[in-house]
A and B are shown apart, each in its own frame.
Chain A
Amino acid sequence: MSGATLFIDGIAFWAPTLPGWEAARSAFRGESEPLATPAKRPAPDILAPAERRRAPDTVALALEVAAAAVRESGLDAATLPSVFTSAHGDLAINDYMCSTLASAPTLISPTKFHNSVHNAAAGYWTIGTDCHEASTALSAFDESFGAGLLEAATQCLAEARPVLLVAVDVEAAGALASVTDSAGLLACAIVLSPHASERTVAAFDWSLVNATTRAAPIRSPAARSLAGNAMAGALPLLEAIATAEAGIDAGSIALPLTRSLALVLVARSPLKAAAGQPS
């Protein structure tokens, strides 16, 4: 398939040393350094005050970046279908659930249990924004970002409407750290649109390519410092968007989906995107 174009109308990022897209964009371009002192976990005001404090990391991070990306897009959150993707979900809650089950199973907290579902962030997001649109929660191990982007791009094209993509992974906790490879916190969100607008910051032609593909390299030292997170698969595209926003040709990026299939994105320059016909 060819001829599909994604227009990026809003982007957001959060990691403790790059707490926000402006900081990340500049660091990914090599124009600044990540923070020496990590920022405190965000407390998104979409959550009720009591929940801001209790919310699992995955929920707090997802809602922070989702809200920021939607704000950038100028769209109304309540109108956007959403795709949430995470390789492992909330590893701290999984650690809590499994250790409590091993020691005192009848003491499981009901709140922690309903927060343990993979779609917890999607649930809190739709509640907090009064959004009745479809939302989904996906997982695809190391390919979780690519799988989430494919689902969001597919929805965007099939239904000809903007879609919110939110990607989060957190640090492995407790005994899970002996099997699960994920360090630090990394969250990003992108509002995809099927057509160009005055908000468009970057545009990519996309297709599925049936070939054994290596993941696109992570180029900047700032992004490489986050490569241990299970959502690091998002970093090459984020670097490309940072480049495209500066008006430089960001080239093409391959996101592997399986051993012999990749989602390939080819950057259009923003000017061409804005002038182009709706696809």
Chain B
Amino acid sequence: MPDPIAPLRIAAYTVTSAAGVGKAALLAALRTGRSALTLNDFGPTPLPTWIGRVASLEAAPLPRSLAAWECRNNRLAWLGLNGDAFIDAVHAARERHGAARIAVVLGTSTSSIGATEDAYRHLDGHGAFPADNRNPQVHTPHSLASFVQEALDLAGPSVTVSTACSSSAKVFATAERMLRLGLVDAAVVGGVDTLCGSVLFGFNALQLVSAEPCRPFDAERSGISIGEAAGFALLERVDAAAGRPAGLHLLGYGESSDAHHMSTPHPEGLGAERALDDALARAGIDCGAVDHINLHGTASAKNDEVEAALVARRFPATTHASSTKGVTGHTLGAAGIVEAAASLLAIEQGLRPGTANTRVLDPVCGPQVRIEAAQAPVRVALSNSFGFGGNNCVLVFGDANAGGSR
């Protein structure tokens, strides 16, 4: 088991999804259980499925100074950075610490591949990319973190984490290690993923896409709804001498591998449970201290079965567990940060979200999995993210007093 870590302060955070720009939009949807999914109208030949699409990205070009980075994913990143005055919080941190002392660690599954897909539909007479879509720094996974680093005028370590649907959860772990070792004094973490042909047709080929809005943990669930989102958090160390300040904290994380299959979870949730155990150990808590879990809960048959069984065997009935994928869709590489933000909202607002769209729970679910939202204090919230390749990450967040005795 890993040693407990010192909690990190979440100095600022923001989230933009199909529910809208900024935290308030997601909070409103979580309160009412409003699904932001709409019938798929993305791309030239849309499949009959439902998507979580961010409105008006097409009409929101990047500022002229950043125009070289133009693509849907970076547009969504920019829209997201402007939510909740997140940019101002980063600029203040830059004043405090200096540009080279702030890391940018961002997760994405497909980054700007949508721009590459576009280029392939418009190749020039020589079979080359069209002249207006030829920036090499866009057609590569690191497009995301390098764009955000430039947009924020930062100069610390900059890396893109791409481990499918756990990407923007694992960024918290990478940043925590850099902060613990004193390599940096702050880190911008988060992730962005946008709708693109690769994921819509790819998940369709795997027969994982539902023809109706996704219904996580429903006995009659029929697959995922794909969404797009951007989210960011600013992490800083806590001054041990001054004691833990008020507000939100990262208490722990756990990372693991299923070692089972590229696109199907381990049947007993072996990897997921190991990530859970490591996360709890780093936070210095046990399952009984967890008030709320934001489940991975994609509404795929297998994920929900394995995850529900894990929660049923490990957590007390008082833990309120739910999936917010019915609200936002599965935002893939951005799911980690979107659901970290939902977990942080749960702590701030005393809101335990429900599971939108779900009607009748699968009998595999224990009493922990809830369809209805509830208003009750949350001191500790967990967020699960599990990805292709059997890549798992569990995050633990808490208020100022939560966590082990440090």
Q: Hey, which bits of chain A sit against chain B, CB under 8 A?
A: 1, 4, 81, 87-89, 94, 97-99, 101-102, 105-106, 108-110, 113-120, 122-124, 126-127, 129-141, 143-144, 147, 150-151, 154-155, 157-159, 174-176, 178-181, 208, 210, 257-261
Using Cβ atoms and an 8 Å threshold, which residues of chain A touch B121? 102
Asked if B181 and A157 sit within 8 Å, CB to CB, the answer is yes
Contact A118 B159 (CB under 8 A): no
Q: Are A180 and B139 in contact (CB under 8 A)?
A: yes
- Complex Cα–Cα for A157 and B204 (A): 42
Q: Does B149 contact A (CB under 8 A)?
A: yes
Query: What's the minimum C-beta distance from B204 to chain A, rounded to whole angstroms?
Result: 7
B146-173 contacts to A (CB < 8 Å): 146, 149, 155-164, 170, 173
Take A106-B201, A180-B140 as given contacts and tell me if A119 and B388 are in contact as well, using a CB distance cutoff of 8 Å.
yes
Contacts of B263 in A (CB 8 A): 110, 114
A208 B162 Cβ-Cβ under 8 A: no
Is B256's CB under 8 angstroms from A139's CB?
Answer: no
A-B contact pairs, 30 of them (CB 8 A): A88-B140, A98-B113, A98-B120, A105-B45, A110-B263, A113-B198, A114-B262, A115-B262, A116-B202, A119-B162, A122-B257, A123-B388, A130-B259, A132-B258, A132-B259, A132-B274, A135-B389, A136-B161, A136-B174, A137-B161, A138-B162, A140-B158, A140-B159, A144-B142, A147-B157, A150-B157, A178-B129, A257-B157, A261-B155, A261-B157
Question: What residue of chain A has the Cβ atom nearest to residue B271's Cβ?
Answer: A132
Name the A residues within 8 Å of B158 (CB-CB): 140, 143, 147, 257-258
Chain B interface, number of residues (Cβ within 8 angstroms): 73
- Contact check, B262 vs A126: say whether CB atoms are below 8 A apart: no
A61 to B149, CA, bound (A): 31
- B129 contact set on A, CB distance < 8 A: 175, 178-179
Are A134 and B256 in touch, CB under 8 angstroms?
A: yes
The answer to whether A132 and B257 touch across the interface, beta carbons within 8 angstroms, is yes
Determine how close the nearest CB of chain B comes to the CB of A160; give it in whole angstroms.
9
Tally of A-B residue pairs with Cβ under 8 A? 224
A71 to B126 CA separation, bound complex (whole angstroms): 46
Cα-based distance from A244 to B49 in the complex (angstroms): 58
Q: Which residues of A contact B120 (CB under 8 A)?
A: 98-99, 101-102, 175
Within 8 A of A (CB), among B246-262: 255-262
User: CB of B376 within 8 A of chain A?
Assistant: no
CB <8 Å contact, B162 and A179: no
Q: Which chain A residues lie closer than 8 Å to B99 at the CB level?
A: 260
Binding site for A on B (CB under 8 A): 2, 45, 47, 99-100, 109, 113, 116-117, 119-121, 123, 126-129, 134-137, 139-142, 145-146, 149, 155-164, 170, 173-174, 177-178, 180-183, 197-198, 201-207, 255-263, 270-271, 274, 387-391
Bound-complex Cα distance A262 to B231 (A): 28
Distance A139 CA – B134 CA, assembled complex (angstroms): 19
Residues on B with beta carbons closer than 8 Å to the beta carbon of A260:
99-100, 155
Contact A117 B109 (CB under 8 A): yes
Task: Report Cα–Cα, A138/B270, bound state, in Å.
Answer: 24
Query: Shortest 10 CB-CB distances between A and B: which pairs?
Result: A123-B389, A118-B162, A134-B255, A113-B202, A178-B128, A126-B257, A139-B141, A98-B120, A101-B197, A110-B205
Known: A127-B262, A154-B181. A176 touches B162 (CB 8 A): no
Known A-B contacts A126-B257, A181-B136; the reply to A138 vs B205 at CB < 8 A is no
Find the B residue at minimum CB distance from A99.
B120
Query: What CA separation (Å) do A110 and B207 show in the bound complex?
Result: 9
Q: How far is the CB of B208 from chain A (nearest CB, A)?
A: 9
Name the contact of A139 in the complex, choosing from B126, B142, B274, B390 (C-beta under 8 A): B142
Q: In the bound complex, how far is the Cα of B128 from the Cα of A251, in angstroms? A: 43
Which residues from A are CB-within-8-Å of B178? Answer: 154
Q: Is the CB of B119 within 8 A of A136?
A: no
